[in-house]
Amino acid sequence: MNTLLQNNTGTYTIHPLTRIGRVALVVNDLQGQIDFYRQVLNLKVHWQTESEAGLGAGGEDFLHLTQNPTARRYPRTSGLYHFAVLFPNQRELARAIARLFTLRYPNYPTDHIMTKTTYLSDPEGNGIELYAESPEDGYWTLAEGHYITRRKDGSLSSGREPLDVEKLFSLLSPQDKLENPLPAETRIGHIHLHVSSLDPAVDFYHRFLGFDLMGQDQSIRMAFVSAGGYHHHIGLNTWQGEGAPPPPADAAGLQYFAIQLPEREEVERLKRHLISHTLPIQEVDNGFMVRDPSQNRILLTAAR
């Protein structure tokens, strides 16, 4: 069970089938990053040029890499906290984590009760979450402005328990080879962003982009927004510091992320809504770009 804190009551609500599309990163070493995502996370390279590449699970790209050898990382700025790869079931997550263990790649398996997950970073410091849904184990809700996680028996959880990896691995069979391709359903499930201030970010994603506000906890400086009742498509936090500036133009890291609406008319409907509120947009071939108050770039596009 997910608790909706506030449905969008304004003039626009984003379509419930909206989801997060591809994540675009600026990287220093394109081939090194391709090797990591291919060898460690088992992504497919869909296409590659001298300076760019698209990766995923064999369908649409869900990761776009652009090389800039002189780009650098800047601390204490807004931008990417992590992007989250959603597996279609816990067995496939188990296979992905087993691959990390076999390669001895550092990662941090965590039980959020309603999801099973592990956290890691790529070689250039971009945060990644791998996860699968487990709503049968419990849920989170919001009470008096604080996130509360309960197991299925009603008992309280921190929501950040160590994952029972052995139990997860018991889902695997001898036929689950670690080198088998990722299932085609694997995709980006959500993205979590560092923002400069929580209230303006929530206002932008809730009131202007039309996401539902699923929870906002000022004590941990974090909020979740989503479409269609999902626990969160976008996480927002101020963990880089209140008032954290956007990264400079020569920064490595998040270039943009895509919000994918189910059809072109929904993209046009959102564009008209934003224009009516005088928000600046940038037309691109497959949709349009906007920036949130922390200058994170967002591509609004339609599903193929």
pLDDT tens column, 125-140: 999 999 999 999 999 9
Q: For 96-114, write each residue's pLDDT tens digit.
A: 999 999 999 999 999 999 9
User: Each residue of 83-106: b (16+ CB within 10 Å) or e?
Assistant: bbbbbbebbbbbbbbbbbeeeeee
Residue 144 pLDDT class (50, 70, 90 cuts): confident
Copy the structure tokens of residue 63: 């990761």
Determine the pLDDT at residue 105. Answer: 98
Q: How confident is the model at residue 145 (pLDDT cuts 50, 70, 90)?
A: confident
Count how many Cα atoms sit within 13 Å of the Cα of residue 2 in the half-sphere of its side chain. 23
Q: Is the pLDDT of residue 171 over 50?
A: yes
Amino acid at 225: V
The pLDDT assigned to 3 comes to 43
Whole-number pLDDT of residue 280: 96
248-261 per-position pLDDT tens digit: 999 999 999 999 99
The answer to whether residues 44 and 187 touch, using CB atoms and an 8 Å cutoff, is no
In DSSP terms, which residues pair with 129 in a beta bridge? Answer: 84, 119
For residue 147, what pLDDT is reported? 86
Please report the DSSP string for 219-277 in residue order.
TTTEEEEESTT-S-SEEEE-TT-TTPPPPPTTB-EEEEEEEEESSHHHHHHHHHHHHHT
Instruction: Using the predicted structure, report yes or no on whether residue 289 has a pLDDT greater than 80.
Output: yes
> By C-alpha distance, which of 89, 96, 188 is closest to 135?
89
Percent of the chain with pLDDT over 70: 97
Q: Are 7 and 219 in contact (CB under 8 A)?
A: no
- Tell me 298's DSSP state: E
pLDDT given for residue 7 in this prediction:
54
CB 165 within 8 Å of CB 109? yes
Q: What is the DSSP string of 106-144?
A: --EEEE-SSEEEEEEE-TT--EEEEEEE-GGGEEEEEET
Overall average pLDDT of the 147-167 stretch: 95
pTM for the full model?
Answer: 0.95
Task: For residue 150, report the phi and psi dihedrals to the nearest 5 degrees.
Answer: -125, 140
How many other CB atoms sit within 10 Å of the CB of residue 53? 23
Terminal Cα distance for the chain, rounded:
30
Calpha distance 265→43 (Å, rounded): 31
Amino acid 1: pLDDT:
33
8 pLDDT higher than 70:
no
| Partners of 66 in beta bridges | 26, 52
